[in-house]
Amino acid sequence: MKRILVTGGAGFIGSHLCERLLKERNEVICLDNYFTGSKENIVHLLDNPYFELVRHDVTEPYFAEVDEIYNLACPASPPHYQYNPIKTIKTSVMGAINMLGLAKRVNAKILQASTSEVYGDPKVHPQPESYWGNVNPIGIRSCYDEGKRCAETLFMDYHNQNDVKIKIIRIFNTYGPRMNPNDGRVVSNFIVQALKGEDITIYGDGTQTRSFQYVDDLVEGMIRMMNSEDDFIGPVNIGNPGEFTMIELAEKIIEKTNSQSKLVYKELPKDDPMQRKPDITLAFNNLNSWKPVINLDKGLQSTVKYFESVLQPSLM
């Protein structure tokens, strides 16, 4: 049995990862400060004797004997990470230093949840891992983008200098059940607005694109990456190459919810990337032919169902 630490384990992705790791008969320590995550996300795991919950902030050192670490702690939605930008960058950078220090000390393998945001507003499309990106270092998204870029640097340096066993994945926009209804990301916003019959808020003209990955496909990719050959350290893109404009996404959600909601257009936030689509060749070739298997239509069905259940009282 492996003992596995998941930082940010009470968040959207972390809770799915904890669940899957427990199913595979591992011992799981879920560490979180509940900034954007919640106990609701992991309450169903609390009866499992192999599941342990720790309230802790990754900007402070943490010690435990573990075999593997998945480092996910960091707010991920633009409104949340921009709420306290200094804390966001501290979480990425000091969190990485603290968790890499722990990995070094106990000889654990450590995986970093990096992001497609390291490509910024990309000039190369789709984005391969070899692309260095187009990131504004002093804009409103920089606390997140540059924090994650610096974390990647730290992972590489701990690996090269101290032989720490690392893995880096770059996650593209991921959605699914347990997204926080108030976190401001596009999939949750549109579904909640559609279910409540409110206007659907398109930022800009809605022609910007994103590639949406269902959370189960991501978790499968994360676990395959952790268990991949030691010399395959990444960074590797984990995302779904299906690319959609925000208008297309809104139309799909209106159809799936049978909503009467209308599209309204709001100002595009600063530095909002115009396009994003992963090149997943590297993942396919190195992670046992990993590729996403859940398309947007299918993934939206279960996500809509989830939001219907959470919003039930307020919809009546």
Q: State the Cα–Cα distance between residues 118 and 121, nearest whole angstrom.
A: 9
11 interacts with, out of ligand UDP, ligand NAD, none, CB within 5 to 8 A per kind = ligand NAD
**Do the Cβ atoms of 139 and 273 come closer than 8 Å?**
no
Q: State the Cα–Cα distance between residues 137 and 100, nearest whole angstrom.
A: 24
- Residue 231 burial (CB count, 10 A): 6
C-beta of 69 vs 280, nearer to ligand UDP? 280
Figure out which of the listed residues 203, 271, 310, 311 binds ligand UDP, where binding follows CB under 6 A: 203
CA dihedral for 117, 38, 300, 263, sign (positive or negative): negative
Gap between the terminal Cα atoms of the chain: 46
**Do the Cβ atoms of 102 and 56 come closer than 8 Å?**
no
Q: State the Cα–Cα distance between residues 228 and 168, nearest whole angstrom.
A: 12
10 interacts with, out of ligand NAD, ligand UDP, none, CB within 5 to 8 A per kind = ligand NAD
Q: State the Cα–Cα distance between residues 296 and 316, nearest whole angstrom.
A: 28
- Does residue 144 have an active-site annotation? yes
Question: Near ligand NAD by CB under 6 A, which window of 33-41, 122-130, 156-164, 276-284?
Answer: 33-41
Question: Near ligand UDP by CB under 6 A, which window of 57-65, 104-112, 196-204, 277-285?
Answer: 196-204
Site string for ligand UDP, 55-94 (x = CB under 6 A): ----------------------xx----------------
C-beta of 67 vs 183, nearer to ligand NAD? 183
Q: State the Cα–Cα distance between residues 173 and 185, nearest whole angstrom.
A: 9
Site string for ligand NAD, 79-98 (x = CB under 6 A): ------------x-------
Provide the 3-class DSSP secondary structure of residue 61: coil
C-beta of 77 vs 237, nearer to ligand UDP? 77
Q: State the Cα–Cα distance between residues 30 and 44, nearest whole angstrom.
A: 13
Which residues in 209-238 contact ligand UDP (CB under 6 A)?
210
Count of residues engaged in binding ligand NAD, rule: CB under 6 A: 27
Q: Which two tokens stand for residue 243?
A: 């690319």
**If you count them, how many residues does the chain have?**
316
Figure out which of the listed residues 28, 30, 45, 72 binds ligand NAD, where binding follows CB under 6 A: 72
SS (H, E, C) 169-201: EEECCEECCCCCCCCCCHHHHHHHHHHHCCCEE
Figure out which of the listed residues 13, 103, 202, 254 binds ligand NAD, where binding follows CB under 6 A: 13
From 62, 81, 119, 144, the catalytic residue: 144
In angstroms, give the least distance from the CB of 175 to ligand UDP: 8
**Do the Cβ atoms of 189 and 308 come closer than 8 Å?**
no
Spell out the residues 6+ positions from residue 49 whose beta carbon is closer than 8 angstroms to its own. none
202 interacts with, out of ligand NAD, ligand UDP, none, CB within 5 to 8 A per kind = ligand UDP
Which residues in 92-151 contact ligand UDP (CB under 6 A)?
none
C-beta of 73 vs 233, nearer to ligand NAD? 73
Residues with active-site annotation: 144
Applying CB under 6 A, the residues found at the interface with ligand NAD are 7-8, 10-14, 32-37, 57-59, 72-76, 91, 113, 115, 171, 173-174
